């Protein structure tokens, strides 16, 4: 059986599991729209009993459609608040198919996860308070390419993770199950028992695969149960556990149990050894079971996954703290609208007509009565009804140049940097990005150019940049970090471009001494790495030296050796990094 066929077989099992117990066997399906995905959905539809409601969730659904809220038309007509039920409430015991799941808005994700966790929806909005049961299965169709993924909070709660990217049309086989199988399994499910050994095996496997979240083994336990019911068994057997491990645990693996990396093996083997020593007798039997489950899970881990995961984790570690989405600007007046807010209509604020009318609507009969003379049919809007649109701006990039202006060779460098900054500025003008400049020489670092978009200001301050003196590298890195954090706090994404030969000889307190200064620079560089801000280190020494490379390693920077850089090449290198980060 080819890889694709094996994946398809698992996918068919997952479809059957989802049909048996939608709420427990939710599925994350990563595949482009195409015949393979269509066939899978078709299969799911065939297997799902006709009584189960299947609904589609568009990625841009509004909160009141999702959860329920005021029905504007009915409210106006009836003259009293009329509720409309949301998608989730209509769906009780049904199945929700989320298309383009990787684009679901964060607030929608939050509602979905809350509903999945509690099996309820609770609404406190539009002057209404409502709780409704909402136990539903979620099939998230992830059409992301490359870096696009379904929100981790949602993915964590979805049981089976499938990737049909490898499946070709030739791999598609006949359905393994019929709807009568599903009906039988549904009836059998409540009686299926799960042994402690099975739970232990799944938890151990999750641990060995480096899965932190406890939801994963829990979901695996449920999947094992359903798999047993599908098999017509009342007890979960090894094959069912293996199935759960393949579908739930393998796709979440963050490391291989027998990784070559030394530290990883240590971590992985420790938890396995300890209990084994303590409870030798108990475990002599289920030890092999765990191993076999692990093997099954391992076999299902696609080749190359681990490498990809490690890369991903590295980028995630950086991006989590450098989060571009982290700090949104206070009240921008342009960008993407993110809902409405009540407030005063002042200059600059954008009125949201629909929300304003919606706010005014329920009051109309009352206001008409109060305003007896008013003509009927006219909408009476009060100041309280005014709703303003709120916006979220896409954060721009700020490139912070940190230039070594020390010594004699720097003079030549400075001319290059000046050229590069000007080139970047021209490009930034188009991209709405900003540039800042810090120079360091003598006893300290100086912010020559605060973040700006102004071409003329930049040119003026660059022209006045002097050279010569010692190399206070640590002070420069510190100043750059501070500026980058300040920029980040304003909602922009900073990138630092550090141009130096890495040969520090002045410490932060202004005292000379090469070895101390270099050690201090490395410490500060490591601290900069912790902030997760992307850094490009441009080695400006005539011949590349390992000092600068070392420094780049410490700050997890991209190292570019440009002994004879011209301004154009430098700006190209920086733009490449900025667009990557």
Partner 1 sequence: MGIAFPFAAIVGQDEMKLALMIAAVDPKVGGVLAFGDRGAGKSTAVRALAALLPPMSAVVGCPYQCDPADAAAQCAECRARSKPSGKAKKPAGLKAHQVPVPVVDLPLGATEDRVVGALDLERALAHGEKSFEPGLLARANRGFLYIDEVNLLEDHLVDLLLDVAASGENVVERDGLSIRHPARLVLVGTGNPEEGELRPQLLDRFGLSVEVKTPADLPTRIEVIKRRDAFETDPAAFVAHWEKEEAKQRKRILAAREHIASVKVADRELENAARLCMALGTDGLRGELTLMRAARAAAALDGAKAVDDGHLKTVAPMALRHRLRRNPLDDSGSSVRVERALNELFAT
Footprint of partner 1 (CB under 8 A): 63, 67, 79-81, 106-107, 110-111, 114, 117-120, 122-129, 152-153, 156, 194, 196, 199-200, 202-204, 206-207, 212-218, 221-222, 271-272, 274-275, 320, 323, 325-326, 341-342, 362-363, 365-366, 369, 384, 478, 481-482, 485, 524, 526-528, 530-531
Measure the CA–CA gap between 476 and 525, rounded to whole angstroms.
10
Shortest CB 99 distance to partner 1, Å = 22
Whichever of 207 and 256 has its CB closer to partner 1, that residue is 207
3-state SS class at 131: strand
Give the pair of three-digit tokens for residue 37: 């995905």
Give the pair of three-digit tokens for residue 197: 């050994």
Nearest partner of 428 among 326, 574, 560, 580, judged by Cα = 574
Whichever of 234 and 325 has its CB closer to partner 1, that residue is 325
**Backbone angle region of 469, left / alpha / beta, with phi > 0 → left and psi within -120 to 50 → alpha:** left
Shortest CB 127 distance to partner 1, Å = 5
Whichever of 152 and 374 has its CB closer to partner 1, that residue is 152
377 by Cβ neighbours in 10 Å (0-12 / 13-18 / 19+) ranks as exposed
Whichever of 199 and 561 has its CB closer to partner 1, that residue is 199
Shortest CB 233 distance to partner 1, Å = 16
DSSP-assigned letter for residue 193: B
Whichever of 369 and 543 has its CB closer to partner 1, that residue is 369
Measure the CA–CA gap between 168 and 177, rounded to whole angstroms.
21
- Is residue 302 a contact partner of residue 166, using CB atoms and an 8 Å limit? yes
Whichever of 186 and 341 has its CB closer to partner 1, that residue is 341
Shortest CB 448 distance to partner 1, Å = 22
Distance from CA of residue 169 to its chain's centroid?
A: 31
Whichever of 155 and 403 has its CB closer to partner 1, that residue is 155
CA atoms within 13 A on the CB side of 483: 29
Whichever of 111 and 255 has its CB closer to partner 1, that residue is 111
State the helix-helix crossing angle for 473-489 and 514-531, rounded to 10 degrees.
Answer: 20
Shortest CB 473 distance to partner 1, Å = 15
Whichever of 2 and 269 has its CB closer to partner 1, that residue is 269
Shortest CB 128 distance to partner 1, Å = 8
Whichever of 82 and 183 has its CB closer to partner 1, that residue is 82
Whichever of 288 and 468 has its CB closer to partner 1, that residue is 288
Q: Please name the residue ranges forming H helices in 135-253.
A: 152-157, 179-188, 196-208, 215-231, 238-244
Whichever of 415 and 529 has its CB closer to partner 1, that residue is 529
Shortest CB 218 distance to partner 1, Å = 6
Give the pair of three-digit tokens for residue 283: 């475990």
Give the pair of three-digit tokens for residue 469: 């003196």
Shortest CB 220 distance to partner 1, Å = 9
The answer to whether the Cα torsion of 225, 56, 107, 81 is positive or negative is negative
3-state SS class at 532: coil
Measure the CA–CA gap between 133 and 24, rounded to whole angstroms.
15
Shortest CB 366 distance to partner 1, Å = 6
Residues 6+ apart with CB under 8 A from 24: 137, 159, 219, 222, 223, 225, 226
Whichever of 180 and 273 has its CB closer to partner 1, that residue is 273
**String of DSSP letters for 461-521:** HHHT----S---HHHHHHHHHHHHHHHHHTT-EEEEEEEE-S---B-TTS-B-HHHHHHHH
Shortest CB 92 distance to partner 1, Å = 14
- Is residue 219 a contact partner of residue 161, using CB atoms and an 8 Å limit? no
CB atoms within 10 A of CB 284: 10
Shortest CB 438 distance to partner 1, Å = 16
Shortest CB 323 distance to partner 1, Å = 7
Following CA atoms 89, 91, 94, 100 in sequence, which dihedral angle do they give, to the nearest 10 degrees?
Answer: -110
Shortest CB 26 distance to partner 1, Å = 15
**String of DSSP letters for 103-116:** G--HHHHHHHHHHH
């Amino acid at each position: 059986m080819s890889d694709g066929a094996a994946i398809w077989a698992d996918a068919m099992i997952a479809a059957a599991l989802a049909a048996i117990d939608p709420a427990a066997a939710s599925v994350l399906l990563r595949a482009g729209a195409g015949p393979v995905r269509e066939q899978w959905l078709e299969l799911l539809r065939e297997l799902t009993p006709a009584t189960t409601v299947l609904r589609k969730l568009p990625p841009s659904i509004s909160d009141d459609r999702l959860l329920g809220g005021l029905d504007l038309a009915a409210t106006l007509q009836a003259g009293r608040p009329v509720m409309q039920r949301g998608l989730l409430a209509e769906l009780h015991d049904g199945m929700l198919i989320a298309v383009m799941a990787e684009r679901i808005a964060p607030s929608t994700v939050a509602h979905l996860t809350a509903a999945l966790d509690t099996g309820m929806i609770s609404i406190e909005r539009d002057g209404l308070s409502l709780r409704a049961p909402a136990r539903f299965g979620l099939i998230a169709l992830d059409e992301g390419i490359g870096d696009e993924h379904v929100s981790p909070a949602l993915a964590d709660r979805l049981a089976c993770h499938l990737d049909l990217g490898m499946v070709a049309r030739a791999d598609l086989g006949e359905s393994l199950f019929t709807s009568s199988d599903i009906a039988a399994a549904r009836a059998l499910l409540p009686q299926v028992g799960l042994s402690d050994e099975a739970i232990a095996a799944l938890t151990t496997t999750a641990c060995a695969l480096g899965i932190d979240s406890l939801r994963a083994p829990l979901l695996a336990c449920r999947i094992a149960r359903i798999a047993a019911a599908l098999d017509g068994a009342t007890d979960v057997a090894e094959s069912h556990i293996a199935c759960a491990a393949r579908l739930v645990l393998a796709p979440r693996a963050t490391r291989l149990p027998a990784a070559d990396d030394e530290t990883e093996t240590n971590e992985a083997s420790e938890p396995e050894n300890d209990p084994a020593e303590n409870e030798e007798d108990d475990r002599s039997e289920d030890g092999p079971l765990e191993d076999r489950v692990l093997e099954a899970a391992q076999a299902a881990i696609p080749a190359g996954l681990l490498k990809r995961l490690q890369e991903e984790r590295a980028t995630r570690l950086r991006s989590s703290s450098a989060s571009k989405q982290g700090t949104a600007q206070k009240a921008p007046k342009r960008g993407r609208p993110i809902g409405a807010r009540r407030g005063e209509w002042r200059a600059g604020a954008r009125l949201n007509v629909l929300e304003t009318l919606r706010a005014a609507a329920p009051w109309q009969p009352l206001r008409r009565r109060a305003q007896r003379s008013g003509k009927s049919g006219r909408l009476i809007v009060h100041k309280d009804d005014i709703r303003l649109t709120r916006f979220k701006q896409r954060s721009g990039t700020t490139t912070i140049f940190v230039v070594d202006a020390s010594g004699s060779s720097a003079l030549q460098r400075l001319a290059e940097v000046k050229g590069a900054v000007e080139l970047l500025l021209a490009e930034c003008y188009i991209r709405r990005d900003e540039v800042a400049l810090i120079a360091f020489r003598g006893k300290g670092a100086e912010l020559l150019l605060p973040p700006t978009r102004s071409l003329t200001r930049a040119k003026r301050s660059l022209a006045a940049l002097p050279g010569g003196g010692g190399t206070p590298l640590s002070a420069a890195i510190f100043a750059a970090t501070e500026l980058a954090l300040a920029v980040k706090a304003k909602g922009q994404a900073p990138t630092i471009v550090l141009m130096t030969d890495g040969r520090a000889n002045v410490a932060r307190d202004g005292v000379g001494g090469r070895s101390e200064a270099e050690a201090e620079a490395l410490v500060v560089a490591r601290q900069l790495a912790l902030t997760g801000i992307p850094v490009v280190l441009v080695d400006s020494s005539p011949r590349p030296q390992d000092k600068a490379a070392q420094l780049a390693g410490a700050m997890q920077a991209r190292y570019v050796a440009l002994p004879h850089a011209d301004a154009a090449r430098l700006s190209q290198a920086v733009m490449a990094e900025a667009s990557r980060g």
